[in-house]
Amino acid sequence: MIPMTETSQYVRFPAIRCWIKHILDANYNEIENVFHSIFGKIKRVRFLATIRDKYEFPSFDSETSSNLNLDLDDGTGLIRSSKWKVGPEEIGRYEIGNLAYFIGVLQSREGITSLRIEIIKIISDPNDILLHDAIIIKKIRSGEVVEIPKKTQKFNEIGDEFGEYNDTSIISPEISQQELDDNKTEDSIKEMIFSIIKENSHNGKDTHLKELKIKMQITENKLIRYIRDLEQASKIYMSDENVYQSYD
What is the residue extent of each domain of the chain?
A: 15-148, 167-246
Judge whether residue 151 has pLDDT over 80: no
- Selected residue with higher pLDDT from 19 and 160: 19
The 10s digit of each residue's pLDDT in 197-232 is 999 988 888 899 888 888 888 877 788 878 877 876
In the chain, what percentage of residues exceed pLDDT 90? 36
Return mean pLDDT, the chain.
80
Q: CA 196, CA 205: separation in Å to the nearest integer? A: 11
Q: CA 217, CA 34: separation in Å to the nearest integer? A: 30
Q: Which CATH number fits domain 15-148: 3.30.750.24, 2.40.50.140, 3.30.70.270, 2.60.40.1240?
A: 2.40.50.140
C-alpha torsion sign, points 216, 220, 226, 232: positive
Burial 39-53 (b: 16+ CB within 10 A, else e): beebbbbbbbbebbb
Domain 167-246, what architecture?
Answer: Orthogonal Bundle (1.10)
